[in-house]
Structure 1
Amino acid sequence: LVVFDFDWSLIDNNSDVWILEQLSKELAEKIVELRKKIQWTDLMHVIYQGVTRQQIENALTKIPFDPAMIEALKIIKRGKGEIIILSDANTEFIDIILKAYGVRDLVSFIISNPANWDEDGRLHVKRLISPEDSPHKCENQCSVNICKGRELVNYLSLHPDGFNQIFYVGDSLNDFCPATKMSRNDTFLVRKGFKLEKFLASSKNELKPRIVYW
């Protein structure tokens, strides 16, 4: 099983920020202040009400996606590996980008904030864990709307036959939690130059999986 975070792990940008920068540099700059007051997923939902489906799709099809990473996905599938995405982006963005680059059929499952289009072509994004749900109470570096460790455990519970190995590819602080659920037989692939690498360098937590920086 190979689990990919999406933004800055599978693709070479943050899909939410990319959209904002393509539509309005000024708005992208204001987001820095706005996110201090509003939860990120909720903020994106509000902003996308003023953006058409065509604008979003046109922007997402141009987002950087390294050909080497696309080839890696194909190699994994040829080797009979299963690929899932575990991301704090949203299901619709991920789906659009994967289809644009012709690799949607290589991904078995997407776990992310649910999103859908309304009749007027406006995108509605919800938190994976809504404010009405019980909080995940995770003590790791998880966002309030998603505990990736819990999501990984839930996914594995649906596959009782298990997997010989788990590979997890990530770059952010919320990618740390899944690694705490992995075994010594697994591999944690950490992107260099991002928050997760810096956190691991200063963390006293000992992880079981082998850590590989890329």
Structure 2
Amino acid sequence: RILPYHDFHTFSHGCTLCPPNMCKGKIIERIQATLAKEGKKRIIYLGDGGGDFCPSLKLGENDYMMPRKDFPVWDLICKNRQLLRAEVHEWTDGEDF
């Protein structure tokens, strides 16, 4: 059985950008806290859907956001670039890596 990542029946994650069952931004914040404890400094986040915009807003200036060009997250980032602190590098397909 598949269950929601967040138990939205008990409490809301409070993010208006994400669906009620999962906020990827909250997940990135948990990962960042773990990495900070381990002394790691950088996240590289690849995304293509609109649901990848919220976590891109949580990334810091030492992180990389890699949106897939001409996909929903690319469009959102292009319209709201000033909201991101991470360095942005677009990609088209696997050969770009």
Q: Within 2, Cα distance between the matches of 1:183 and 1:165?
A: 8
Q: 2:54 aligns with which of 177, 181, 196?
A: 177
1:187 lines up with 2:70 in the alignment: no
Tell me the amino acid that sits aligned with residue 25 of structure 2: G
Partner of 2:12: 135
Q: CA deviation at 1:202?
A: 2.3
Q: Within 2, Cα distance between the matches of 1:128 and 1:177?
A: 16
1:164 lines up with 2:41 in the alignment: yes
Q: CA deviation at 1:161?
A: 2.6
**Structure holding more strand per residue:** 1
Q: 2:76 aligns with which of 191, 199, 208?
A: 199
Q: Within 1, Cα distance between the matches of 2:51 and 2:32?
A: 18
Q: 2:21 aligns with which of 145, 148, 162?
A: 145
Total equivalences in the alignment? 90
Say which one has the larger Rg.
1
Structure 1 stretches of at least 4 aligned residues deviating more than 4 Å after TM superposition: none
State percent identity of aligned pairs.
27
Q: Within 1, Cα distance between the matches of 2:26 and 2:2?
A: 21
Q: 2:30 aligns with which of 149, 154, 163?
A: 154
Tell me the amino acid that sits aligned with residue 150 of structure 1: K
**Structure holding more helix per residue:** 1
- Report the aligned-residue RMSD: 1.7
* Equivalent position SS for 1:180: helix
Q: Within 1, Cα distance between the matches of 2:29 and 2:8?
A: 22
